[in-house]
């Protein structure tokens, strides 16, 4: 099995050692990017009620931008606003760990399955959030999982607010 597949499986299985591995591997940014792209396509397929290629492309680009924004917010909040004494990190570590935290998103494609699709989508979304908390905790060297949850929630709320504002801008509908 390739390192890439092994890392995706480890991240999806919420293995702390996998998040530590990708945090330390400066060359894993391209792999993290690939995970985000694959997950974004699967999420787009699962959430979309159409097979329109343009909708998938826009969704994938939005997911990539969202990943960069959320990683940046997480970095700022986690290192400047809510750091622990031992917190040392850089944006690359957050990109790598949060990118691999997108691994459960592959299962969003099952959102298209009749009857159970909505339940699967909810389960995968919670799974993804748990993976994100682990990724943030490891990348920011937190001892407290609660602090990692706080950073993720604050970052997500800011990201959501910006997304809602941008959604209503003329020309972006």
How far apart, in whole angstroms, are the C-alpha atoms of residue 167 and residue 138? 32
**Residue 50, in any domain of the structure:** yes
**Residue 173, in any domain of the structure:** no
**Range of the structural domain that residue 55 is part of:** 3-167
Instruction: Please tell me the predicted confidence (pLDDT) of residue 170.
Output: 57
Q: Tell me the residue length of the chain.
A: 173
**Residue 56, in any domain of the structure:** yes
More confident residue, 72 or 50: 72
Instruction: Please tell me the predicted confidence (pLDDT) of residue 166.
Output: 60
Q: Is the pLDDT of residue 143 over 90?
A: yes
Instruction: Please tell me the predicted confidence (pLDDT) of residue 31.
Output: 97
**Residue 78, in any domain of the structure:** yes
**Residue 172, in any domain of the structure:** no
Q: Which range among 76-90, 127-141, 145-159 shows the weakest confidence by mean pLDDT?
A: 145-159
Torsion from C-alpha of 101, 106, 109, 111, nearest 10 degrees: -40
Instruction: Please tell me the predicted confidence (pLDDT) of residue 172.
Output: 46
Q: Specify the number of domains making up the chain.
A: 1
Q: Does residue 38 contact residue 112 with C-beta atoms inside 8 Å?
A: no
Q: Which range among 53-62, 64-73, 86-95, 111-120 shows the weakest confidence by mean pLDDT?
A: 53-62
């Amino acid at each position: 099995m390739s390192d890439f597949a092994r890392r995706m499986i480890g991240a999806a299985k919420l293995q702390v050692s996998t998040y530590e591995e990708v945090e330390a591997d400066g060359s894993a940014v391209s792999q993290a990017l690939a995970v985000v792209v694959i997950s974004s396509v699967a999420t787009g397929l699962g959430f979309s009620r159409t097979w329109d290629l343009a909708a998938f492309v826009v969704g994938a680009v939005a997911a990539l931008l969202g990943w960069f924004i959320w990683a940046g917010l997480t970095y700022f909040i986690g290192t400047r606003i809510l750091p622990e004494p031992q917190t040392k990190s850089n944006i690359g570590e957050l990109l790598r760990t949060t990118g691999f935290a997108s691994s459960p998103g592959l299962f969003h494609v099952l959102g298209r399955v009749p009857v159970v699709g909505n339940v699967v989508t909810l389960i995968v979304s919670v799974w993804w959030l748990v993976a994100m908390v682990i990724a943030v905790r490891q990348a920011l060297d937190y001892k407290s999982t609660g602090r990692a949850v706080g950073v993720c929630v604050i970052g997500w709320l800011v990201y959501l607010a910006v997304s809602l504002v941008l959604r209503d801008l003329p020309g972006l509908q």
